[in-house]
Structure 1
């Protein structure tokens, strides 16, 4: 059964022990960047397979050609969809992100196809995202979120900063608050 997901992948994300180190390496090897680091991203809601959870993470966002690259490090010790895929300090490609018109509808489509929400979280009330468990089929998760002014603003900032970037100042701080 086809899952109605909308447009193409917007982002490829990797789970790593240190986002700054990973971003610096990727930038040096592939020319991606610059990277915007958001530390200890606050979540107002967090569910791990529908159960209340605590998940603290830091992310670095940079542009690589037409796609955003995200590096994610987990700052909390609790089990998560990140440590499920990469336990004991392992690292690798974790998810592909899609922007969908209706988050709840897209989540239901994935769930109906046998891909539960491993993580549902909100960075602010009503600004949610979900990690759909497609590991058995694809080897990674699919992240879903709706377009919002804040989300699209981050994508535009990252994309615009990469245009004509000379390689200087590859790591930059950003805050979501």
Structure 2
């Protein structure tokens, strides 16, 4: 069996949905929250080697140490999100690893032959990439650079979930 280019724990599970608020409501029924929501944010990325610009809304919450992400794309611009919805419908999309050495992990993933299908094109900021793994465990593996921004946000979201009493279940971040 070949050695995986990935190290560390799975830090996040991501879902792509048609309706962010309906998805959040479902998670709230399971007692997961509070949810931190960013609405209608522009995202520029390379989609299968071509530049792409979409507008998305995302929501983040934790269940224990595991972060959950829900993503809704607005509009029908071809992207990794519309591709998934067209092929499979709303649901589980990605497992995310947060490597400290993003560049080295991405190099190892590419060397292993995993196609990079979505990667941020912005200069500066936190780097991320979606890759297609050979194993059918997940459609996409997300690599999100673990730096002070990622760490701060993940700590903030996880702390809010600890001992959450159900109040203020949806919290805007923009």
Q: Same fold (TM over 0.5)?
A: yes
Structure 2: tracts of 5 or more residues without a match: none
Structure 1 residues 13-162: aligned runs within 5 Å:
13-28=14-29, 30-43=30-43, 45-87=44-86, 90-121=89-120, 125-134=124-133, 137-162=136-161
* Residue aligned with 1:25, SS: helix
* CA distance in structure 2 between the aligned counterparts of 1:138 and 1:113, rounded to whole angstroms: 17
Asked if structure 2 preserves the Cα contact closer than 8 Å seen for 1:11 and 1:98, the reply is yes
CA displacement at 1:136 relative to structure 2: 6.2
**Number of residue pairs aligned between Structure 1 and Structure 2:** 173
Quick one: distance in 2 between partners of 1:33 and 1:106? Answer: 31
Match of 1:10 in 2: 11
Asked whether the equivalents of residues 20 and 171 of structure 1 are also in contact (C-alpha less than 8 Å), the reply is: no
Q: Structure 1 56/158 Cα, relative in aligned 2: closer, same or farther at 3 Å?
A: same
C-alpha distance in 1 between matches for 2:14 and 2:171: 18
8 A contact 1:63–1:159 mirrored in 2: yes
Q: Distance in 2 between matches of 1:174 and 1:124?
A: 22
Alpha carbons of structure 1 residues 3 and 150: separation in structure 2 relative to 1, 3 Å = same
